[in-house]
Structure formats: C-alpha cells, structure tokens
Structure 1
Amino acid sequence: MFKNRLASHLERGVIGFPTTLASSVGLIMASPVILTVTSGFGSGGDTFALAVLLAFIMMQAQITTFAEAATLIPTTGSVYDYISCGMGRFFAITGALCAYLIVHIFAGTAETILAGVMAL
C-alpha cells in the first residue's frame, strides 16, 4: 500500500511535505557552517583556507576508518557500536557522549561568535 503510494507520488514529480521538511531541517542545520566559512575567510584569509584543507584531510581519515568499521561490523550502527567492538562498553558510552557534546559545544561557540559578528 505505502510502496504504491510512494511510487505514484514519485512518478508525478511532486515534492511533498516530508521531503520539504527534511530539506528545510538540513538547510537550517547547515546554515551556521556557511556563516562560519564566510566569517573565517573574512578574518583569516589564507590561513583559514589552510585550516579548512587540514580539516578536510582529517575528515577523509575519519571517513576511511568508519568505512572500514562498517565493512567489518555490518550493522546500522553509530560511534557507540564501533567503539564498543574495539574498546568495550564504558569507552563506547564515553566516546559517544563526547562526540555529541563536543560537536554541540563548538557549534554553540561558533553561533555565538557569529551573532556578534553579524551584529556589527
């Protein structure tokens, strides 16, 4: 039933509410990154470009690590599943919490700085 409705919906070429909502949330989540980049290039110039390149290289290393873990552990898991297989449950819980907290701390700091920059 649902599959037939989805197929007919996609054949019409219409974007519905779920797709629009997901796209909107994705844009809202990505907007601080866009502002950080413009502010960073404005204040740092070439040095910021070097930092972005270094971050890109580090993310490529992380991507290959997660890809290797995904081939070895065929689950739809997250950081917790990958760490628990290698280091145990305690480090998996600690690592997953740190991964989420550190991301939110840095994102909050960047948004706070940008609020001041955009107010000028």
Structure 2
Amino acid sequence: RLVFSLSFKNTLQAVATHQAESIRTQIPDEFLADFNGWVKEIEETRERIKREVADVFAQAPKDTRKDFAVWVMSTRKDISSYLFALLDGHDIEPIIYKKAFENRPNETAVKQSENTA
C-alpha cells in the first residue's frame, strides 16, 4: 500500500524556495487541485501584501529612522516588520512567507493506494 501526502506547509516551502513548478510535475493528478489552490492562495497573498506595503512605504516619512519608526508604529504597526525591512533594503518575501501564514492551519491532502504493482 502506498500513501501519498501533501500539505499546505510543504507547498508554502516549495513556493518560498521557487520549487513549486518543479514539484508540480511530480505530484499525482489527484493532488493537483489542492496543490494549485494552495499555490494560488500563497501567490495572491504575497502579491497583495507586497502592494499594500509598497503603498504604505511610499507615504511614510523617511527623513530619519526615528521619524519613520514613530510614523509606522502609530499608523501601520501591523505591517511594521515589512516596512522596516524595506527601509533597510531587504526583500520582504521571506518575511511574508513566515508571517502571513503563521496562523494558517496546515491542511493535508492524503491518498492511499492499495495498488503497489
């Protein structure tokens, strides 16, 4: 008996490491809908957050780090880690993959096969 398993967490890791397309070719057909749905959710969330952070960052005062910090903490504390990363010239995608999905349940798709031949 073979057991195939796929999880949201593993899909998130695949997207974060740019391996989703490679993995997609190896996934049994019965998992593709789950995998594709999770990839779409991850990519849409990532892009939405990137747009929102860029829009807010454009409005933030950047004369001094202190001015920036005061503004961020009083205006958009909820996305402060992204904003400070941008200020420091860092890519925010790794932070998005960590923070945006930290409270999301780890769904799993499992299929058992009795045919081992």
TM range (shorter): 0.3 to 0.5
Point out the structure with the larger helix share.
1
Structure of greater relative contact order (alpha carbons < 8 Å, 6+ residues apart): 2
Q: Normalising to structure 2: TM-score of the pair? A: 0.35
Task: Decide which structure has the larger Cα Rg and report it.
Answer: 1
Point out the structure with the larger strand share.
2
Q: Normalising to structure 1: TM-score of the pair? A: 0.35
